[in-house]
Chain A
């Protein structure tokens, strides 16, 4: 399936990545060639195959429900581009 420019615009909106027209055109070409490569899978009949859900045959371990960390607010905020006291700051979302 080829990925036209409108589709690139649509998925870039979903992925929250802004793109200029030049980029959209290049990506339409690149993504189309990648999708063409991927479509080789259609040769295979997989009607009777169940999808892989876990690579290693090991069941997930459960652990006791207890608090093991916490009180690290300053560490969590340390790398934020903008903070105010104990909050992350983002552009205004309510008018």
Chain B
């Protein structure tokens, strides 16, 4: 059974239940792959010994009640895991071992899954290429010199290279959908409030949301179901019934209305992306959907508003890293010097930039001009979506303005890096759910994805539409294994 690691999550879950293979066989298969794939630099912490022990325990007990019974899963190193180091890709947390478990990972474990390891990511999830991690670049399996996207780059890369059957990431401005698009995988950002944020290292609290990253749409529905739900420990978690996404999953989407926003046809967008978008339209038409041209007039203001709101919230959230309670501590002759040296040594360049931007826009005399202005613009962006959704059921756009770029290409120009998230950020500002589904390849044989944006708490519709696209796109993962 050497090819278990190529199976989908759904196939693995049913295979364990039907005794086609044991949990231990599954676990060993992913561990073997992972051990051979060090070049991709996807893992920050490996939990292989514990995973095999968990698998053996499972095989003895054979309890198949959970949605993920007997399945090992590696997760982004932003989720706190009890007694397992949690770094957020930062030097300042290089030695942090939580004494508690995040709600999302607890949910997975209570569905019968167990931890395979902690995956690399941009430092504090700030980045679109995984180049800001203290633990080094992650490599995209589609090319030795390519970034996997970010910030959930380790998750995307590990999934695409068959090092984990599925994974979870977090998405503040596109950090699940952009790397999914760059690696030919499926990634979904749920509605804000659908998944608990408790125990996730915080970046920008009004934007952060955890979500599933999987090999196909059906797996995505399954993992979303396992993760979702109300959590009293997160005051912004919403107490709305979670749909049975897998049983309701259908490609029968006849009669649904799909909006195509003209503002997403940006300058300098490669023809290939435009063509891919047209293909997506054709697929949905073929499945019986009606296409409508719509306008989201404030789209161009989303990124500038995001780069006020996200750094402002980050500067406040990251104030806790002071070298006193946990994490890295530097020397200093007095308390303030100790704080300043700790934070100077502990944070990387991009995190410093964002803390400083955030501190500046919130500083005395500037609040109205920047933060308040951005929150007003955010309202306008949300109004655009509200208006559009009176007329359509979902919105189809490209996931990213390009395919995966080369390591180092955008590292020295923060603004050009930020432009990567041009299609994903408006969704976070509005709290809506969105999914990236792989559709095709560009001329360099690099994967490209399309994004479907749904109404708040209507993850089911975008999953169904993605399934209709997936069936028609017939996307094949064309990766040659070069990294073993």
Contacts and interface: CB of A to CB of B under 8 A. Distances in A.
A binds B: yes
Contact of A91 (B232, B338, B382): B338
B94 to A, nearest CB: 12
State the main secondary structure of chain A at its contact with B: loop
Contacts of A41: 301, 304-305, 308, 373-374, 377
Contacts of B270: none
Contact of B431 (A17, A53, A55, A63): A55
Interface string B326-364: 111100111111111101100100001101110111010
B193 interface: yes
Interface residues of B, number: 73
B193 A15 contact: no
A90 B324 contact: yes
Given A17-B356, A27-B352, A56-B191, A34 B307 contact: yes
Nearest to B93: A79
B424 to A, nearest CB: 16
A12 B349 CA distance: 13
Contact of A61 (B232, B339, B352, B357): B232
B249 interface: no
Given A50-B379, A51-B376, A52-B379, A34 B352 contact: no
Nearest to B315: A15
A61 B355 CA distance: 31
Contact of B238 (A8, A58, A72, A91): A58
A33 B415 contact: yes
Categorize the interface residue count of chain A.
Answer: 35 or more
A80 interface: yes
A83 to B, nearest CB: 10
B90 to A, nearest CB: 14
Given A15-B315, A40-B300, A51-B379, A34 B372 contact: no
A51 to B, nearest CB: 4
B66 to A, nearest CB: 26
B372 A15 contact: no
B192 A79 contact: no
A69 B472 CA distance: 52
A92 B334 contact: yes
Contacts of B323: 81
Contacts of B413: 33
A11 B359 contact: yes
A81 to B, nearest CB: 4
Nearest to A92: B334
Nearest to B303: A37
Contacts of B298: 44
A16 B343 contact: yes
Contacts of A84: none
Contacts of A30: 353, 414
Nearest to A3: B360
A88 to B, nearest CB: 5
Nearest to B370: A38
A37 B329 CA distance: 35
A93 to B, nearest CB: 5
Contacts of A58: 193, 238-240
B290 interface: no
B247 interface: no
A47 to B, nearest CB: 9
Contacts of A92: 334-335
Contact of A8 (B98, B240, B336, B356): B356
A91 B325 contact: no
A6 to B, nearest CB: 13
Nearest to A62: B235
Interface string A10-54: 011011111100010001001101110111111010100111110
B45 interface: no
A79 B325 contact: yes
Given A7-B360, A81-B323, A17 B352 contact: yes
Contacts of B327: 79, 81
Given A31-B357, A79-B96, A79-B97, A61 B338 contact: no
Nearest to B351: A17
A35 B361 CA distance: 9
B105 interface: no
A82 interface: yes
A54 to B, nearest CB: 9
27 contacts: A14-B359, A14-B363, A17-B352, A18-B344, A31-B356, A33-B413, A34-B414, A34-B415, A38-B307, A41-B304, A41-B305, A51-B372, A55-B430, A56-B193, A56-B431, A58-B193, A58-B238, A60-B235, A63-B232, A72-B99, A76-B325, A79-B99, A79-B325, A81-B323, A81-B329, A88-B324, A90-B338
Interface of A: 3, 7-8, 11-12, 14-19, 23, 27, 30-31, 33-35, 37-42, 44, 46, 49-53, 55-56, 58, 60-61, 63, 72, 75-76, 78-82, 88, 90-93
Given A38-B308, A79-B96, A82-B329, 13 more contacts: A7-B360, A12-B356, A15-B359, A17-B347, A18-B340, A37-B304, A44-B377, A51-B378, A56-B238, A58-B193, A79-B98, A79-B326, A79-B327
Closest 3 CB pairs of A and B: A55-B431, A79-B326, A51-B375
